[in-house]
Structure 1
């Protein structure tokens, strides 16, 4: 957790002020029992009302000063902790933004959400407590011991027995709680995972009538977390009464032995009363530290998980100096490219070599699992090639900054993703400063203008979370419009026409021809009708290129392409 304290640097002035305020609060709290002792010894015993009123008024001023210091310290510690948590969340999010898809797979989406929310909250809570208790409690404990000794040295042996007993209880809490709290965070991850799968996969769950099975799965994850939490709380339920018992026995012992000393004339009543208060202050200081030690193990587990994200070095990083392009804009070249997913026995794609030029359409077709989506995911560097190279505009993409590379690409993913906001905002996601005319033109080319015009609010209509208030085909068309408004050098369509009917598909491809005539277009498709007119068709089979050519050439020479075509088109259409 200490590693995360580097993010507290901007708040060093606040922390300095908190230290000063807590010191004065502790001094005020430590001074009050001595003043009370003076009132009893010099005022009450002698019946001096003036003295009682004078010292009593001074006690009120000291108490008021302590209260002001406490309120100010609480305010500053809350500001510091919330600012610290905000910086942590920002850094986790920024680091996550730089991760490749492989790193996301390694950490897990549900775990990333837990780390950014629940884990940061744990750290925030401990920081507030630490700024208040871990500074105040030691001052009170040390100060209390010193003041107790000044009142009566003989009685301090009672504290010499009680404090080590409290220390043993705190040690037991720390030792047993740390593993349980680490386990709890993992089990919160599990609940998040199950919940996320249920919410995103609700249609499939209902379609297969698996609601009861999913309820059982969630209940198992929830009960698992509950049982661990009960273990921790059982431990705390035993610990707190033990600590209170030690504190009460300490009070009884002080009164018992203090009474004997008063009877012998070795101690005054006021001093014994002050000693009891100092003993309670010392014990409560240890109680505060015990509470901290309850929270610290959980925060430590959270800190480890946060550090795991912050210390994870992104696999894909920008070069220190980017090379300049030496070829035409939009030119793509694959040279002997190989790529395997981590832990896979077989490469996803192997020895891929081809080029795609501006003004041309390159289509990629092949069976399920042939590596089509993997191949095009390498162009924007969602993953890095393991061997070989990919060149854009004559420059190896590893020698370009990710921002520069991706600014050249208009990418339409296989699964259309829309964000909460208006239709216009979703289209402008491709180009933030796009004009209304550009937005309308892009949606017209993408064949989205018709359905947008029928909606009451038009382009200002709000898209629900995940685009759940539009159909699959409408999502795809808006995703295509988002790429078109960017006017990039390279268009990548990853099976982006699958949800469109044949008529809309044909109209869209015709409109795209004029819109993308100066750009490089790469289309991944399952439909033969979508790729028939491409200048170049690449046939993939088990991650390897099985053939390159146009529709007629491949139909005449490539068996795999012929099988794909014959499975989709009739004999008349083939002729």
Structure 2
């Protein structure tokens, strides 16, 4: 974990080293002050030596100013380095997530990834700032204080050598007891965020079905789970303050008792005892700080592990070493393809798929829900890799292509495509950021989106709200079809992407695609017979297998599943 996270420090390594150096200088000067004050009392104040008092008073003032400057510099540098480290962590996580295949994404919920990018990174940022600032200061202060105590009074310094190991042992036990709760707490945060996300996105359904009370109960359950775990962990951690308070009182009493005896015996001067009290406070303050650091490291350790899990997750689909850069045509071949989502699954999602699709051919795919229609086409742009067999595009195994080149030539339009915040034109240019305005309009016309876009308040410059909430479902689908067309793909896959469009407009879109993109291979997945009946061939999927292939008329005559779907839709008018 530490090795993984440390790679994100990068350009902030020098600052990360500068802060501890400033801290070391600050602590050395700070720890000299009690010793000098003791001398000032014994050799100046007690003897009424004003020149000595003036000289060393000015020296103390000077080194105090230097100490303050070093402390301020250390704080500034540590904050800057920690913020930069956190920014790099977020970048590394985000870039890594974008490299994920669907198989990787399935391991992390979206709410969990958001929590890791925000809360977990903030925890690690705070811990890093503590490590390069306070975590250096506390041990340094502890060591220097003990050394100075030994110089002043070896016998009294034995008190620290006794209490320090006891404190460390107790602290280790507290950490060991509290740490296991925090990974569970952060998983609880993931679940709670998931509940919030679902309710924000599905607020219309929640209100329509009057589910407010059940969703409140669901939220309170996840929130209560976090509360119980956090309360238990905090009870264990709170023992830190009790231990520190007990040690502080015992040490103070011991120094008073034994110090008084040494003064009476003439082996210790008053100023030296004052210095011992100062160093005693420094030692105990250091122990207290170490306890606080340990608490934060418990939390950040769990967060760091969650961040490392994301960065260490190896993308399931990667570019080959010597990739094929060009997709020359839209020919597709499935050669004995088998696929399952999880290696441990017993059942195959796709079972022995054999299929050849010619360049420019229009293929319709239909089947009952769960028949793996979408899974089949997901193999073409390598959203998933086959378990066995091969998928070839233009004569090459899809695994041999450069991923960007392959996906630039395979455009997929899903039923629930997403529009992003920005103008309509900016959303369309996701398909091709270098597209001219004429090309944007041409693609919109093929998708029959140009008309309603021009009727918007600012036409193509109209702002789209987050998620496309200010456009209808049918409009959103036509915009996403136009976006895909701007890629000028060799293969176009429409996965139930006109379900919210009326049948007349859908027919016009199909006619435009056939007329304007004759060389593009088109695959249309639909639950409506009318959407695919004019395809060159229609594939009937059933339980992950190709049950039949033929034209609309051929399947009506010989395939029971297809004919029953057609009959039902004809009778119900769907």
TM range (shorter): over 0.9
**Are the equivalent residues in 2 in contact too, given 1:173–1:293 (CA < 8 A)?**
no
* Alpha-carbon distance in 2 for matches of 1:20, 1:369: 62
**Are the equivalent residues in 2 in contact too, given 1:330–1:357 (CA < 8 A)?**
yes
Secondary structure of 1:11 counterpart: helix
Residue 246 (structure 1) aligns with = 247
Q: How does 1:389-400 map to 2 (within 5 A)?
A: 389-400=390-401
What's the CA shift for 1:165?
3.3
Q: Does 1:337 align with 2:331?
A: no
Residue 279 (structure 2) aligns with = 278
**Are the equivalent residues in 1 in contact too, given 2:325–2:402 (CA < 8 A)?**
no
* Alpha-carbon distance in 1 for matches of 2:554, 2:522: 20
**Are the equivalent residues in 1 in contact too, given 2:364–2:523 (CA < 8 A)?**
yes
* Comparing 556-565 and 449-458, the one that deviates more: 556-565
What's the CA shift for 1:570?
5.5
What's the CA shift for 1:465?
1.4
Secondary structure of 1:545 counterpart: strand
Q: Does 1:490 align with 2:491?
A: yes
* Alpha-carbon distance in 2 for matches of 1:158, 1:354: 83
* Alpha-carbon distance in 2 for matches of 1:211, 1:102: 34
What's the CA shift for 1:426?
0.7
Residue 57 (structure 2) aligns with = 56
Instruction: Give the TM-score, by structure 1 length.
Output: 0.95
What's the CA shift for 1:425?
0.8
What's the CA shift for 1:414?
2.2
Q: How does 1:127-276 map to 2 (within 5 A)?
A: 127-276=128-277
Number of positions where the alignment pairs a residue of Structure 1 with one of Structure 2:
571
Question: 1:86-125 CA deviation, whole Å, 9 max, x = no partner?
Answer: 1211121122112221221122222222222221111111
**Are the equivalent residues in 1 in contact too, given 2:371–2:542 (CA < 8 A)?**
yes
**Are the equivalent residues in 2 in contact too, given 1:473–1:499 (CA < 8 A)?**
yes
Residue 415 (structure 2) aligns with = 414
Secondary structure of 2:499 counterpart: coil
* Comparing 407-416 and 163-172, the one that deviates more: 163-172
What's the CA shift for 1:323?
4.0
Q: Does 1:554 align with 2:555?
A: yes
Q: CA separation of 1:224/1:362 partners in 2, compared to 1, >3 Å: closer, same or farther? A: same
Residue 569 (structure 2) aligns with = 568
* Alpha-carbon distance in 2 for matches of 1:18, 1:475: 52
Question: 1:114-159 CA deviation, whole Å, 9 max, x = no partner?
Answer: 2222211111111000101221222211111110011111212322
Q: How does 1:310-329 map to 2 (within 5 A)?
A: 310-323=311-324, 329=329
* Alpha-carbon distance in 2 for matches of 1:416, 1:159: 66
* Alpha-carbon distance in 1 for matches of 2:249, 2:58: 31
Q: Which runs of 5+ in 1 are unaligned?
A: none
Question: 1:491-516 CA deviation, whole Å, 9 max, x = no partner?
Answer: 11001111001121122112222221
What's the CA shift for 1:238?
3.7
**Are the equivalent residues in 2 in contact too, given 1:430–1:486 (CA < 8 A)?**
yes
Question: 1:276-318 CA deviation, whole Å, 9 max, x = no partner?
Answer: 1111111111211111111112222122222222222222111
What's the CA shift for 1:194?
1.6
* Alpha-carbon distance in 1 for matches of 2:240, 2:304: 25
Q: How does 1:453-472 map to 2 (within 5 A)?
A: 453-472=454-473
Secondary structure of 1:533 counterpart: coil
* Alpha-carbon distance in 2 for matches of 1:503, 1:263: 106
What's the CA shift for 1:204?
2.4
**Are the equivalent residues in 2 in contact too, given 1:173–1:294 (CA < 8 A)?**
no
Q: CA separation of 1:570/1:179 partners in 2, compared to 1, >3 Å: closer, same or farther? A: closer
What's the CA shift for 1:172?
2.8
Secondary structure of 2:8 counterpart: helix
* Alpha-carbon distance in 2 for matches of 1:400, 1:247: 68
* Alpha-carbon distance in 2 for matches of 1:106, 1:58: 62
Instruction: Give the TM-score, by structure 2 length.
Output: 0.96
* Alpha-carbon distance in 2 for matches of 1:570, 1:180: 59
* Alpha-carbon distance in 2 for matches of 1:224, 1:553: 58
Q: CA separation of 1:48/1:128 partners in 2, compared to 1, >3 Å: closer, same or farther? A: same
Residue 76 (structure 1) aligns with = 77
Q: How does 1:414-433 map to 2 (within 5 A)?
A: 414-433=415-434
Q: Does 1:478 align with 2:470?
A: no
Secondary structure of 1:431 counterpart: coil
Q: CA separation of 1:16/1:341 partners in 2, compared to 1, >3 Å: closer, same or farther? A: closer
Q: CA separation of 1:210/1:285 partners in 2, compared to 1, >3 Å: closer, same or farther? A: same
What's the CA shift for 1:18?
1.9
Question: 1:40-87 CA deviation, whole Å, 9 max, x = no partner?
Answer: 111110122332222111111111111111111111111221111112
What's the CA shift for 1:478?
0.7
**Are the equivalent residues in 2 in contact too, given 1:163–1:283 (CA < 8 A)?**
no
Q: CA separation of 1:473/1:168 partners in 2, compared to 1, >3 Å: closer, same or farther? A: same
Residue 103 (structure 1) aligns with = 104
Q: Which runs of 5+ in 2 are unaligned?
A: none
